[in-house]
Amino acid sequence: MAATLILEPAGRSCWDEPVRIAVRGLAPEQPVTLRASLRDENGALFRAHARYRADARGELDLERAPSLGGSFAGCEPMGLLWALKPEKALGRLVKRDVRTPVPVELEVLDGHDPEPGQLLCHARHERHFLQPGVQRELVRAGRVRAALFLPPGKGTFPGIIDLFGSGGGLCEYRASLLAGHGFAVLALAYFRFEDLPEHLNDIHLEYFEEAVDFMLQHPKVKAPSIGLLGFSKGGDLCLSMASFLKGITATVVINACIANTIAPLHYRDMIIPKLVSDIGKIKITKSGFFNFMDTWSNPLEEHNHQSLIPLEKAQGPFLFIVGMDDQSWKSEFYAQIASERLQAHGKERPQIICYPDTGHSINPPYFPLSRVSVHAVLGEAIVYGGEPKAHSKAQVDAWQQIQTFFH
């Protein structure tokens, strides 16, 4: 019987959904190598492989069978995706156009490395970013530049504004996936996009206030409040939004600082200065990569007090997602400062979830780890941290924790 590669669901699935991978029709105990590959929107190639052995019936199910080596080892049903590595050094898998799927090629070859034998079977699987029925609307309302994702169905949905970090541009992949779980999500750009500022020189909170008003006035968004989801620089912006703006009752930040960073923040007649940093403390690894973690001074030092974000003014709870191997920010330290500050003002203790061996770039499930990559603005290779297997498990758990918190 010819070998057959079986995928469940067959043909297509959403990126944050697991895929069951199995092979039938092998010889009993037959050694095989499974390979996965994809090309991103720029044509960059990503690959992963793992060695397996069929059972006594000539079957192989990745939910039960351990990898014997390769890109990962052990029982990892989704390892062929989260272990994908770029063929070109320092590459990072990014999805810009969420309207198109990512085709993944899967192959089963006879034997093990160093030279697997003939191709036994193969399959192509499309990984999508829009669940069936999710609508995408480009937003050009006043100054707001964004993409709004609406779940299928009638009625109103809990609203969330999603902010990314200091790379700029419009990042939609997280918002598009989150909309598939029942949320109306606004992926908001705030610099390096269309007619928005090219650089993070001066940031005005009025822009984000306009985005909040847009969401609260949208007929598909459930009033009277929305949630915020922010990563890195987008995280401290979300903390400032929650502290100064009305209509926000739930805030999630992923590896973010408790102080305003990178550029002064303006709001009405107030200016929050940026956290003091010292580029002279940048560490260069033996491989020539930049590590910025030690450039940031302690937010609790007296000269930084004005840059601290007054979280005690916020109206709703907080969830801090922390990668304990974050090489960009001292995220765990910042989350503890937030907890102590809130409690000192008689506020509810925030929820803090810390993930060991997890780096800075915590994405939705099954995104490959970006441990080191070239920063979109700085143009330098930056160390972000994380160990692939632990980081992948953290992404799966954090994704569920975020949804549970917002619900």
CA distance 113 to 68: 11
The residues facing 127 across adjacent strands are: 13, 102
Whole-Å CA distances, 298 to 166, 240, 265, 275, 323 = 20, 18, 19, 8, 19
CA distance 33 to 27: 14
* Coil, strand or helix at 109: strand
CA distance 62 to 85: 20
As annotated, the active-site residues are: 232, 326, 360
Residues 6+ apart with CB under 8 A from 115: none
Pure H helices in 256-366: 331-344
The residues facing 126 across adjacent strands are: 12, 103
CA distance 260 to 74: 42
CA distance 254 to 319: 9
Q: Beta 135-141 vs 4-8: how paired, if at all?
A: unpaired
Residues 6+ apart with CB under 8 A from 224: 216, 247
**Under the phi-then-psi rule, with left for phi > 0, alpha for psi from -120 to 50, and beta for the rest, what region is 178?**
alpha
Q: How many CB atoms lie within 10 A of CB 374?
A: 14
